[in-house]
Amino acid sequence: MRSRRPRDRRRRMSKRHLAVITAVALIGGGGLFGLVGPSAFAHESGQQRGTAAQGRVLHAPGGVRRGGQGGNNRHRGNGNSGQASASPSPSASTTVIGPLASDFVDITKVAPNVRNNAPRKGSNASSGTFSSRCGVNAGGQHNPDNVIVAPGVADGAQHTHDYVGNVKVDNTSTNESLAAQGTSCTNGDLSAYYWPVLRDQTKQGADAGAKGGGAEGNIGSILTPASIQITFKGNPTSKVTAMPRFLRVITGDAKAFTNGTKNANASWSCTGFENKVQLKDKYPICPAGSKVVRSFAFASCWDGRNIDSADHRSHIVGADPNTGACPQGFKAVPQLTERLTFNEPNRTKFAVDSFPGQQHAPVTDHADFINVMSDQLMQQAVNCINSGRRCG
């Protein structure tokens, strides 16, 4: 009997090992997931589960990664009433994801977060404003280019931009071509003002199969703003000096979802709530009769030399948030602010266009500006602002 016990033990151990090996094989080959119903996967380790209708999904170390999106790690569930359920274009290699219901918040339930802590105006403050009235792009000037960040690159943005002001802006634009174009602005301002479009994801867009649109995950019908306000403001500590012609300025980060919020500058609200609540990483659900508001405030301290820089930021920076003063070596120029309103879209079924992989996150909202005002018009703006008048 003694000689038989070790053999029994070995047999029992081999069965146990066989069970373990079988389980590992099932997991490694995806067999375990085939034994569990889809409803069990409301969350998958911060990654999104793909479906045949959404596009191909790659299994990679550390979880599920969508093809072409770099394995973003945003923690999102699948029960999204705000996500478009549209089949991707045959040319799209990524899943169409976002925004989710968790990206939206009922603004009436958000505690006030706007504090009136603007820097106090000094004796040398420039308190006037200058406005350009440039319409709402009713003619539909759109393209997926970004001549500031990707000059010469067609579809350099991989999402669609909305333009007002200069009537022809694309990846081929030069200073000379911009100066030779017309404008939608009533005061002759030739500047280029642009930002990503907002879409109603319940409707099919005219660009459903095009680059910048559905072919790159930007699903839905483009919404025309109800209003656009373009206003240049002064500085609380000093007079402003003229911007150089062809100065490039960007605000926000179109890749803030993966880059982090260092350069993010999105602001979402609703009419009637702007002085109470500003949202940085949520879309607002507005009450009946209230419009969705997107607003942008650009950097306004110029280095006095360059119209652009390698990172498109170093040549023009923000003022000190506490004092309003520009850093040493920089001078105050008129600060561009923009305010866009939209008639209430379908509550949790609208989204800002984004790069593939940025999941239409509200934090990625951004805007771009090229100053093409004539020197005479820019000087009018400076005089209005420095004298404390409201012009335009």
The whole-angstrom separation of Cα 150 and Cα 60 is: 31
The whole-angstrom separation of Cα 244 and Cα 333 is: 9
| CA-to-CA dists, residue 292 to 235, 344, 374, angstroms | 28, 6, 33
Residue showing tokens 């602002």: 385
Question: Across residues 227-243, what is the average pLDDT?
Answer: 98
CA dihedral 299, 302, 303, 308 (to 10 degrees): 70
**Mean pLDDT for the chain overall:** 81
For residue 38, pLDDT over 90 is answered with no
Residue showing tokens 């100066």: 179
Instruction: Give the pLDDT band of residue 118 (cuts 50, 70, 90).
Output: confident
Instruction: Give the pLDDT band of residue 86 (cuts 50, 70, 90).
Output: very low
Query: Do β-strands 390-391 and 129-132 pair in parallel, antiparallel, or remain unpaired?
Result: parallel
In degrees and rounded to multiples of 5, residue 173 shows phi and psi of -65, 140
Q: Are 284 and 104 in contact (CB under 8 A)?
A: yes
Question: Across residues 176-186, what is the average pLDDT?
Answer: 98
The whole-angstrom separation of Cα 237 and Cα 321 is: 12
Top mean pLDDT of 20-24, 71-75, 174-178 is at: 174-178
Q: Give pLDDT, residue 195.
A: 98
Q: Give pLDDT, residue 117.
A: 79
CB within 8 A of 163, min separation 6: which ones? 137, 141, 142, 143, 169, 192, 193, 194
Q: Are 195 and 296 in contact (CB under 8 A)?
A: yes
- Both structure tokens of 249: 């300025």
Q: What is the pLDDT of residues 185-215, one digit of tens each?
A: 999 999 999 999 999 999 999 999 999 999 9
Q: Give pLDDT, residue 288.
A: 94
The whole-angstrom separation of Cα 57 and Cα 71 is: 10
Q: What is the torsional sign of CA 118, 120, 126, 128? A: positive
Q: Which one, of 352, 350, 220, 258, lies nearest residue 296 by Cα? A: 352
Q: What is the torsional sign of CA 372, 375, 381, 386? A: positive
The whole-angstrom separation of Cα 373 and Cα 375 is: 6
Q: How many CB atoms lie within 10 A of CB 306?
A: 14
In degrees and rounded to multiples of 5, residue 183 shows phi and psi of -145, 155
For residue 67, pLDDT over 70 is answered with no
The whole-angstrom separation of Cα 344 and Cα 119 is: 33
The whole-angstrom separation of Cα 335 and Cα 391 is: 14
Q: Are 122 and 237 in contact (CB under 8 A)?
A: yes
For residue 110, pLDDT over 70 is answered with yes
CA R_g for the chain:
26
Q: What is the pLDDT of residues 373-388, one digit of tens each?
A: 999 999 999 999 999 9
Reading phi first (left if > 0) and then psi (alpha if -120 to 50, else beta), residue 316 is in: beta
Question: Across residues 86-115, what is the average pLDDT?
Answer: 74
The whole-angstrom separation of Cα 160 and Cα 212 is: 5
Question: Across residues 20-27, what is the average pLDDT?
Answer: 39
